[in-house]
Structure 1
């Protein structure tokens, strides 16, 4: 029997269901990434980056193509109005899709230069859009279009609420990747995935204090001991869930590794969702998996029986 959980701390048992089954809800993908759940439509969207498509999954309808030409979309999120916000490697941009289907470019340049290849994105409660901009999408023609970077580095950017030019809020990373706010958005967690191309870069998640429209006090929060951190999410209790080579690593708010959910493929990203908010969706290489957990994303109402 395949082991699903690796418990490192007794607190982990409060977050999982021992009898829950890991269900593969999508397969045959090239590189699954950027899952986001839309409660209003009971729909999961995610990217299949090299295939240049976005996929849709619903409990009743199963899997279908949401967008056939995605401009090599990667990370996705939703804003307070329930609109889709997406990072694209192909156009090196961040866009928003309105309820009418109209796509608006929120940013494709920063400080007068083309962005590298926006990777992951989150929206603050004030409406500002924060995104990471590593070079993965321009390193080859697999996930975008090979090109020389115009930016002098790989940064984390903030687009003001209501739009406008993005501004750099963090320069501390070789390849900033996943990011997420803590409950209440007092903290911002950012994954460093630079070890993918430089073994000297630590596979760490760093945490910053959110100070108005910027960040301060950066410090290491946790280290990934299998592969590297990519997509990350906080649950409503402030625990941090991170992708890794062997699955999903769950850390307490104090940085203690509580345990691991072992996934049979290299994991790229994850999100919470489902009809009651207590399903973990995991994008892992060629597949997307679903697992019942005792956690939900910040802002969701409590789970009741």
Structure 2
């Protein structure tokens, strides 16, 4: 069987004809937030409804990294290699220190609790950017049901000052986010409010040296399905979740090709010894495929 569909000649050099989509583990309820730890040689990811962060290690398989996890969703690493996590249950963003202790980065804005932080990235200047839609508080499945008290927005946290600011407030429900390789562009998925017919698409914003974003415009509309989580490769291509697997989108917004995955994809990240392996969280399982491409994911 073919795991790929090329829709542009540019895609052909990114995939390897003999590299399969491999299921690494299954039996979860809804997996999200993969992040590769190159120094530890493992992948961390969230099994949100089961309130735990899992660890996959080549040769050893699955172990539990943290349970309970406060219904953690998205993760990344900061410049010091520490785990940064979005927690639905605590309605907060946290940092796991090297000694295992947990520091709260943000849990409120203007004196009101955040909604349910979803995905997070760290810029090369150390600033922490995260999306805060309402998904994690709309039911008790991925957290605790509650009324939103802040708008759904993208926030920027500056560690040096401790200041939390709204960076983007013109989306219905921001979700996945990533910077272009030179960090002049910020891509953000708008997956729409629950129980609505909001339009869904990836938007792109200009980002200047002062971390101000502007000129938001539609970059790409995923079809079938919608973009949830995504990552960027060294050529600036966007590798995004979709209903039929993973789509590769060129910097000009053209879909170059697709990788088919047998479950609904939520998120993905690059990892492995050369950052050339794409790890995919999809419904009840995690998958991996080796590409002829390197990601911008930190080691």
What's the TM-score, normalizing by structure 1? 0.95
Distance (whole Å) between structure 2 residues aligned to residue 280 and residue 196 of structure 1: 29
1:273 paired with 2:283, answer no
Gaps of 5+ in 2: none
Distance (whole Å) between structure 2 residues aligned to residue 106 and residue 213 of structure 1: 18
1:293 paired with 2:294, answer no
Distance (whole Å) between structure 2 residues aligned to residue 300 and residue 33 of structure 1: 18
- Runs ≥4 in structure 1, deviation > 6 angstroms? none
Quick one: structure 1 residues 197 and 294, their matched pair in 2 at CA, closer, same or farther if it must change by over 3 Å?
farther
The superposition leaves residues 234-262 of structure 1 with CA deviations (integer Å, 9 ceiling, x where unpaired) of: 11110001101111011011110001111
1:214 corresponds in structure 2 to: 212
The question of whether the paired residues in 1 share the 8 Å contact of 2:135 and 2:194 is answered with: no
Quick one: structure 1 residues 104 and 92, their matched pair in 2 at CA, closer, same or farther if it must change by over 3 Å?
same
Quick one: structure 1 residues 230 and 101, their matched pair in 2 at CA, closer, same or farther if it must change by over 3 Å?
same
Distance (whole Å) between structure 2 residues aligned to residue 299 and residue 177 of structure 1: 18
Instruction: Note the 1:37-48 alignment, pairs <5 A.
Output: 37-48=36-47
- What is the deviation of 1:300? 6.6
Distance (whole Å) between structure 2 residues aligned to residue 34 and residue 187 of structure 1: 22
Secondary structure in structure 2 of the residue aligned to 1:194: coil
Distance (whole Å) between structure 1 residues aligned to residue 220 and residue 297 of structure 2: 24
Distance (whole Å) between structure 1 residues aligned to residue 287 and residue 144 of structure 2: 29
Secondary structure in structure 2 of the residue aligned to 1:75: strand
Aligned positions, number: 298
Instruction: Note the 1:98-247 alignment, pairs <5 A.
Output: 98-151=97-150, 153-162=151-160, 164-194=162-192, 197-199=195-197, 201-211=198-208, 212-247=210-245
Q: RMSD across aligned C-alpha pairs, in angstroms?
A: 1.3
- What is the deviation of 1:163? 5.3
Distance (whole Å) between structure 2 residues aligned to residue 187 and residue 107 of structure 1: 24
Quick one: structure 1 residues 207 and 41, their matched pair in 2 at CA, closer, same or farther if it must change by over 3 Å?
same
Gaps of 5+ in 1: none
1:74 corresponds in structure 2 to: 73
What's the TM-score, normalizing by structure 2? 0.97
Secondary structure in structure 2 of the residue aligned to 1:150: coil
